[in-house]
Amino acid sequence: MLEILSLIRSGGDPRWCRSVPNWDRGPWLETLLGYRRARANARPRLISSHLPVQLFPRAFFGSRAKV
């Protein structure tokens, strides 16, 4: 899924996908390092997570985030 979203974000150009590692393109939200990387990435951000939906903050569901 991250590869597909990365291609969409780059307009179909695979150079960005090939030059930037997965953990920089879509860092894991549940790790401190991933959270810091996600905050530093330009918008729109790609964020990965393995958290169950019950652990997401309530504010997330009122945001404009795409899931």
Query: What single-letter amino acid sits at 44?
Result: P
65 found inside a domain: no
Q: Is residue 14 part of a domain?
A: yes
- Does 20 map to a domain? yes
Q: For 53-64, what is the mean pLDDT?
A: 87
Question: What pLDDT, on a 0 to 100 scale, did the predictor assign at position 56?
Answer: 83
Report the C-alpha gap between 27 and 58 in whole angstroms.
21
Catalytically active residues are 50
| 42: in domain | yes
Domain count for the chain, please give it. Answer: 1
Would residue 52 count as lying in a domain? yes
- pLDDT one-digit tens code per residue, 3-44: 999 999 999 999 999 999 999 999 998 899 999 999 999 888
67: in domain: no
Residue 13's domain comprises: 1-60
Residue 47 lies in a domain: yes
Token pair recorded at residue 10: 């780059």
pTM comes to 0.74
